[in-house]
A and B are shown apart, each in its own frame.
Chain A
């Protein structure tokens, strides 16, 4: 059985708390039919992955089946890179592949902190320029 991730490939960018669809292609390159292929993911805490379809009843040799994965990182997921393991388990065999997901922060909080500090520095600069520059 082959397990192929298509669409954005093995590296995906997601904003914390927002969903992203990843396309997965399940193929059978063996010489027997695969039955009862169950799809699941090993995810970081608070993440969800919804597979559509979640179960493939059978996959004849040489055939492929596309699966959509709706991946959603936790709302409070810290910015950074994560590995998500995708598991396809048939009665006859089991296959695991990994994708990398880069979570980007949805919040502009830290940008505003930086802008606020910069504004204070500018205000301070103007003050010392006015206060000491005249003497």
Chain B
């Protein structure tokens, strides 16, 4: 049974990694695409329509980034829980020496860096078009 639980945790960790990768890549991709679109709009003739489109795209950027940030925070918490369970299991089996608990804090740092990357590409996508305008 413990082997089944172990497999389940490993499978959950894999799904967690895939989901977080999708969150990060999608957010960065959308930020860069919207940066291009909004910069193009900002360089064109100013009009009320252009302003509305720009603000709509900014709203999209904000929503996508907040969803990605929330997803990453949740992903980090989920990974922490899964790894804690895994560590406990290893401890119970007397093989905890093979898994360094400092990996938990390493994952935390990595998630924070992902979140900063998403946040800063989002900020660039918001600010640059308004500077161009």
Contact = CB atoms under 8 A, between A and B. Distances in A.
B27 interface: no
Contact of A121 (B122, B128, B130, B131): B122
A128 B130 contact: no
Given A113-B130, A115-B127, A132-B74, A125 B46 contact: no
Q: Which of B42, B65, B133 has the most CB of A within 10 A?
A: B133
A125 B131 contact: no
B62 A121 contact: yes
A105 B133 CA distance: 8
Interface string A64-90: 000000000000001110000000000
Contacts of B133: 79, 105, 110
Interface residues of A, number: 20
Interface residues of B, number: 23
Interface string A98-135: 00000001000011011101100110110011001101
B119 A117 contact: no
B65 A128 contact: no
B73 A133 contact: yes
Contact of B73 (A79, A121, A132): A132
Of listed A110, A114, A115, A132, residue having the most chain B CB within 10 A = A114
Given A79-B133, A118-B126, A118-B127, A124 B66 contact: yes
Contact of B129 (A114, A122, A128): A114
Interface in B53-108: 58, 62, 65-66, 69-70, 73-74, 77
Contacts of B128: 114
10 contacts: A78-B45, A110-B42, A110-B133, A114-B126, A114-B130, A115-B127, A115-B130, A118-B127, A128-B66, A132-B73
Q: Which 6 residue pairs of A and B lie closest in terms of their CB atoms, listed nearest first? A: A114-B130, A110-B133, A114-B127, A110-B130, A118-B123, A132-B73
